[in-house]
Amino acid sequence: MTRAEESSTTSADIVGRHKRLVARTVLISVLTLCSRILGYARESLTAFLFGDRSAIYDAFVTAWRVPNLFRRLMGEGALSTSLQNAVTAADHDHGNAAGRRVFLDTLWLATWILVGISAVVMASVYVLGDTFPFTDWWWLGKDPEPVRELTLHLTPFLIFACLAGLCAGALGVRGHFAAPTWGPAVMNVIVIATLATIWWRFGSTADALADPALEREREFDMARWLAWGTLVSGLALLLIQVPALKRHELWPTGERVQRRMSVAWGILKQSAPLALGAAVYQVNVMIDGLMAQSMLDVGGPSALWYANRIQQFPLALVATAATAAVYPALNALGHKREFASLRTLHDRTQLAIVFFALPASIGLWVLARPVVSVLLEHGEFGPEGAARTAACMRWLCVSLIPAGAVGLVSRTYYAIGDMRTPVRLSIVMLVANVTLNWTFVRVFGMDCDGLTAATAITNWANLFLLLPPLWRRMPRAADAPQLRGGLLRIAVAGAACGLAAWGAHSALGAGPKSLFALGLAIGAGGAGYAMACQLLSVQEWQQLLARVRRKASR
């Protein structure tokens, strides 16, 4: 009997395949770190080429938000989550072959739907006027032509990215995370190569032409090249996962099977309401970007984009990686109705996220200007753009903890079978975010920092409204962690981290562009955090030390 035939008649151990959660989280974090470092190199080169006041690059990041939103909502969010639920149940109830059929049916149906969505988005952007229907809102900005054309170029990316997200979700159910996590790193390498080619072909913005119209067209050509490079990177993101799909029995085996579209349709129908609940943060980011394009001066959308990219480093490295690693285990526990164990895993993961994310949040807030200046302030990206980006980033640092926590809380709701609660709250938060955006920018005269302030407020509100009802529905096990005391100790240690980082940078008296001063401040902040954790007996710190000692002894 072959392995595939045996798996078709034997229920899979859906909990046992997710035992090494810490090792898995470390793997995802390390691979994500590689991707984010490459991402910083990409953004640094982009800033050098386009500067901080490029209307064309404003248009590019606005156009890019459309496929990127679908990637977050469908590929990495709701659709992937729904697929993981269905494949987990099929593996447990009928074996791996049944799970493969569910995955392939969903992939086939999703491909055609994504092609349709892409066509609708492109047609809408092409047909709709410069102002939004029935309003005077210049929804693509005062110069809509670049946004319109670049959106047409970039929208097909959502097909590759969403299909890659589905593949990553299915591989996660089978306990494989390496290939999907390598994908973004490969994407960044391709985009960096594209930017290097653009630099070689067009030169930097420092070589600006005297005629503004000719310079605009030159930058427009650069953006077109960047759009094509981005599409190629999306195709690579999908193809890199094919070998892993074959190894984990998720690739077509050649047998003739009848497609069960009812199951695939059920997954897609379930993912529709999940989209808002699973990625309210990303929807808010998308709304912020569109409102920045229509309400802010030139350079505002770019400053908001760069700030988001910097904040995404700790968010992806810690919260997103941890949520991706534990969600299959959460889902397996929920499927088996082991709610006490489910709550214990959720609470421990939340504490671990806060332990790593809080010092990053405080450190980035304290060192916002030096971080932005060291990474971006060169070429045509000047001090004004650095100050503008740093102001945005400080509010995004305030968002870091709730943005990560809400993702895990929402997934835990899905694991216990509640799809409605996160969705309802997400809709309320979306309306609140739009209202606060308009109020802060139009009424109080704030810049792009007003948009990120609104995001921070709605993220915290969403977390405080989601968490208590979830706890009430899950019994607390005897070995569950003490959240209140643990969070308090971590918060005190985080304050020590911020004070040490600020003191070290201030004591040197160096400018914001000093890499040495920034490195020393980061080191001082890390040392201050470690000392405070040791003095306060922070449990997560002690567990980390114990794990390091065990590894060293081996």
Which region among 81-95, 215-229, 377-391, 421-435 has the lowest average model confidence (pLDDT)? Answer: 81-95
- Residue 5 confidence (pLDDT) above 50: no
Q: In sequence order, what are the residues at sequence separation of 6 or more whose Cβ sits closer than 8 angstroms to the Cβ of residue 171?
A: 177, 179, 180, 241, 244, 245, 248, 250
pLDDT for res 256? 52
Give yes or no: residues 239 and 309 share one domain: yes
pLDDT band at 499 (very low <50, low <70, confident <90, very high): very high
Give yes or no: residues 222 and 150 share one domain: yes
pLDDT for res 6? 41
User: pLDDT higher for 78 or 531?
Assistant: 531
Which region among 62-66, 180-184, 385-389 has the lowest average model confidence (pLDDT)? Answer: 180-184
Give yes or no: residues 488 and 477 share one domain: no
User: pLDDT higher for 29 or 207?
Assistant: 29
Q: Are 466 and 429 in contact (CB under 8 A)?
A: no
Token digits of residue 409: 């809380």
How far apart (Å, rounded) are the C-alpha atoms in residues 20 and 513? 42
How far apart (Å, rounded) are the C-alpha atoms in residues 337 and 324? 20
Structural domain that includes position 496: 484-549
Q: In sequence order, what are the residues at sequence separation of 6 or more whose Cβ sits closer than 8 angstroms to the Cβ of residue 85?
A: 267, 270, 331, 335, 414
Q: In sequence order, what are the residues at sequence separation of 6 or more whose Cβ sits closer than 8 angstroms to the Cβ of residue 494?
A: 358, 359, 361, 362, 529
Give yes or no: residues 87 and 136 share one domain: yes
Token digits of residue 189: 């390498």
How far apart (Å, rounded) are the C-alpha atoms in residues 533 and 402? 22
- Residue 261 confidence (pLDDT) above 50: yes
pLDDT for res 24? 60
Write out pLDDT tens, residues 349-373: 999 999 999 999 999 999 999 999 9
Give yes or no: residues 538 and 427 share one domain: no
pLDDT band at 389 (very low <50, low <70, confident <90, very high): very high
Q: In sequence order, what are the residues at sequence separation of 6 or more whose Cβ sits closer than 8 angstroms to the Cβ of residue 369?
A: 386, 387, 390, 512
Kindly state the average pLDDT of the residues 432-459: 93
Report the amino acid identity of residue 325: A
pLDDT for res 224? 96
| SS3 sequence of 221-289 | HHHHHHHHHHHHHHHHHHHCCHHHHHHCCCCCCCCCCCCCHHHHHHHHHHHHHHHHHHCHHHHHHHHHH
Please indicate, yes or no, if residue 419 is contained in any of the structural domains: yes
Q: Which of 481, 510, 527 is the last residue of a domain?
A: 481
Give yes or no: residues 284 and 235 share one domain: yes
Kindly state the average pLDDT of the residues 440-467: 93
Can you say how many angstroms the Cα of residue 509 is from the centroid of all Cα atoms in its chain? 35
Phi-psi region of 129 (alpha: psi -120 to 50; beta: other; left: phi over 0): beta
Please indicate, yes or no, if residue 132 is contained in any of the structural domains: yes
Kindly state the average pLDDT of the residues 1-23: 49
Please indicate, yes or no, if residue 11 is contained in any of the structural domains: no
- Residue 438 confidence (pLDDT) above 50: yes
H helices then E strands: how many in the chain? 22, 0
pLDDT band at 79 (very low <50, low <70, confident <90, very high): low
Kindly state the average pLDDT of the residues 251-266: 63
Report the amino acid identity of residue 178: A
pLDDT for res 210? 60
pLDDT for res 142? 73
pLDDT band at 548 (very low <50, low <70, confident <90, very high): confident
Which region among 4-13, 295-304, 414-423, 481-490 has the lowest average model confidence (pLDDT)? Answer: 4-13
Q: Are 281 and 407 in contact (CB under 8 A)?
A: yes
Please give the mean pLDDT across all residues of the chain: 83
pLDDT for res 487? 93
Q: Are 167 and 177 in contact (CB under 8 A)?
A: no
How far apart (Å, rounded) are the C-alpha atoms in residues 166 and 74? 8
Q: How far apart are the first and last CA of the chain?
A: 39
Give yes or no: residues 390 and 534 share one domain: no
Please indicate, yes or no, if residue 4 is contained in any of the structural domains: no
- Residue 526 confidence (pLDDT) above 80: yes
Q: Which of 481, 505, 538 is the last residue of a domain?
A: 481
Q: Which of 68-72, 317-321, 477-481, 490-494 has maximum average pLDDT?
A: 490-494
Distances (CA, A) of 220 to 60, 93, 217, 299: 9, 54, 5, 15
Can you say how many angstroms the Cα of residue 174 is from the centroid of all Cα atoms in its chain? 22
pLDDT for res 11? 52
Q: In sequence order, what are the residues at sequence separation of 6 or more whose Cβ sits closer than 8 angstroms to the Cβ of residue 204?
A: 48, 49, 379, 380
Please indicate, yes or no, if residue 181 is contained in any of the structural domains: yes
pLDDT for res 350? 92
User: pLDDT higher for 452 or 212?
Assistant: 452
Give yes or no: residues 418 and 540 share one domain: no
Kindly state the average pLDDT of the residues 385-408: 93
pLDDT band at 460 (very low <50, low <70, confident <90, very high): very high
Can you tell me which residue has the tokens 């509640």? Answer: 418
Please indicate, yes or no, if residue 10 is contained in any of the structural domains: no
pLDDT band at 7 (very low <50, low <70, confident <90, very high): very low
Give yes or no: residues 98 and 86 share one domain: yes
pLDDT band at 332 (very low <50, low <70, confident <90, very high): confident
Q: Are 372 and 306 in contact (CB under 8 A)?
A: yes
- Residue 131 confidence (pLDDT) above 60: yes
pLDDT band at 498 (very low <50, low <70, confident <90, very high): very high
Instruction: Please give the DSSP secondary-structure letter assigned to residue 210.
Output: S
Token digits of residue 241: 């996962």
**Residue among 150, 153, 236, 242 nearest 190 (CA):** 236
Token digits of residue 327: 């969600």
Give yes or no: residues 469 and 533 share one domain: no
Q: What percent of the chain has pLDDT over 70?
A: 84
pLDDT band at 420 (very low <50, low <70, confident <90, very high): confident
**Residue among 233, 236, 319 nearest 281 (CA):** 319
- Residue 507 confidence (pLDDT) above 90: yes
pLDDT band at 236 (very low <50, low <70, confident <90, very high): very high
Q: Which of 455, 481, 507 is the last residue of a domain?
A: 481
Please indicate, yes or no, if residue 6 is contained in any of the structural domains: no
Give yes or no: residues 491 and 432 share one domain: no
- Residue 9 confidence (pLDDT) above 50: no
**Residue among 346, 358, 356 nearest 406 (CA):** 346
The count of structural domains within the chain is: 2
Reduced to 3 states, what is the DSSP secondary structure of residue 416? coil
- Residue 504 confidence (pLDDT) above 70: yes
Give yes or no: residues 488 and 448 share one domain: no
- Residue 98 confidence (pLDDT) above 60: yes
Instruction: Please give the DSSP secondary-structure letter assigned to residue 474.
Output: S
Q: Which of 177-186, 294-303, 498-507 has maximum average pLDDT?
A: 498-507
Please indicate, yes or no, if residue 554 is contained in any of the structural domains: no
- Residue 167 confidence (pLDDT) above 80: yes
